[in-house]
Amino acid sequence: MSDYLPQELWLEILYWLTPKSLVICTSVCKQWKSLITDPSFISEHGSRQTNNDNQRLLVRLCRKSGSNFIESFSLRLDDEKLDLLSPFEFPFQELFANRCSKVVGICNGLVCLADCRGHHGCDLVLWNPSIRKYVVIPTPDKTFNRLGFGFDSKNNDFKIVILSRAKGPTRVGVYSFTQGYWKIYHVESPLFNLCWMSYDTPLFNPLWDFDMSSVFLNGVLHWVVWHTCYFILTFDVAEETFGELMLPKSLSETKYAKSSVISVLGGGPSLVTVESSVPLSSKQWFNIWVMNEYGDVGSWTKVFSYESGIAIGINCNLSRPLCFRNCGEVLLQNPSGEIIATDPVTEKEKSLGIKGDGFAFAGYQVESLVLLDKKTNVLSY
């Protein structure tokens, strides 16, 4: 093709091919392989995919098999029915000992995974399902209580962040994918307390690890934490500095660990928080708030309230919020494991024909070639 078309034209064609097709193209000739695996091509291709109007969602389902859970991931169009685009093979069943992994975050085509009890020292994984490559990253110790994953656009680097808080400064661990190692240091940050229910607690249910979740938005990681009130702890992944965002007054004054859990929720261009009842409360409910103007505390708006029956032991009879969609709908997983879409304005629900046995995840995903140009410690399957 390059003998008959100007280089600029066939290069433009390659930019719009899917990662799967481009991996195949690397076998055409040495020239194409050199071009497609070049970091500048990978960066430009990722930028084109990010600006693509055809939004996609990565959906994880877990199905119970005896005492184990079998995970499945798929890429779906962000349309009315979440039509299936591509199923992904999941190669980490043994690594996570047949327990459902925790999706720490999704960024520029990479998915960061950890064990549900990952803060006790298990491996983390950076995975690009589109090109079937991954990296296993051992955690530096067993003492952290917060996880986050984001992209440092200033230094063109993916970073995993872990936090622990005891007396004195906050202990921070930052893994730089470019440099390939952890940096551990202590830094001053806003005072905060850790999660209200420990993974060591016998009654802990991974369905309700909301307060351990993080969201990466505008170059910043966000966690809901508590000190004298609830607030959002932020971490700029490029500058590696802390900050804070205040919640709506009614949320910030919520009694810690008594009546509700407050967390951040992924999806869409806005910061979203979920206020939900604790797992063993008699009534099960949640409210969703959206910060319409990022950084403007006065722009918090409650967009959705949901209540569902009575809790039965630790198996909470409540739909679990998964993702706030760009169209304004909320994706939920109901108590039977089915994923449904709810319109906060009309309060109408619709079934999407997607079902698992709990532990579902949904988040916006951009396909990319990230990891294709890396050789050290990168594994294929």
**Burial of 101 by CB count in 10 Å (0-12 exposed, 13-18 middle, 19+ buried)?**
buried
| CA atoms of 287 and 298, how far apart (whole Å) | 18
| Closest C-alpha among 358, 360, 363, 327 to residue 342 | 327
**Burial of 349 by CB count in 10 Å (0-12 exposed, 13-18 middle, 19+ buried)?**
middle
Tokens for 28, please give them: 């055409």
Which residues are registered as beta bridge partners of 159? 150, 176
**Mean pLDDT to the nearest integer, 24-31:** 92
Q: Report whether 208 contacts 194 (CB < 8 A).
A: no
**Mean pLDDT to the nearest integer, 162-189:** 86
pLDDT band at residue 218 using 50, 70 and 90 as cut-offs: very high
- Summarize pLDDT for 95-154 with one digit per residue, the tens: 887 677 889 999 999 999 987 554 445 679 999 999 999 999 988 866 677 889 999 999
pLDDT at position 255: 60
pTM for the model: 0.88
287 or 150, higher pLDDT:
150
Q: Given a cut of 50, is residue 296 above it in pLDDT?
A: yes
| CA atoms of 341 and 82, how far apart (whole Å) | 10
Domain coordinates in residue numbering, the chain: 7-48
Q: Given a cut of 60, is residue 41 above it in pLDDT?
A: yes
pLDDT at position 198: 37
**Burial of 160 by CB count in 10 Å (0-12 exposed, 13-18 middle, 19+ buried)?**
buried
**Mean pLDDT to the nearest integer, 65-83:** 91
Mean pLDDT across the chain: 83
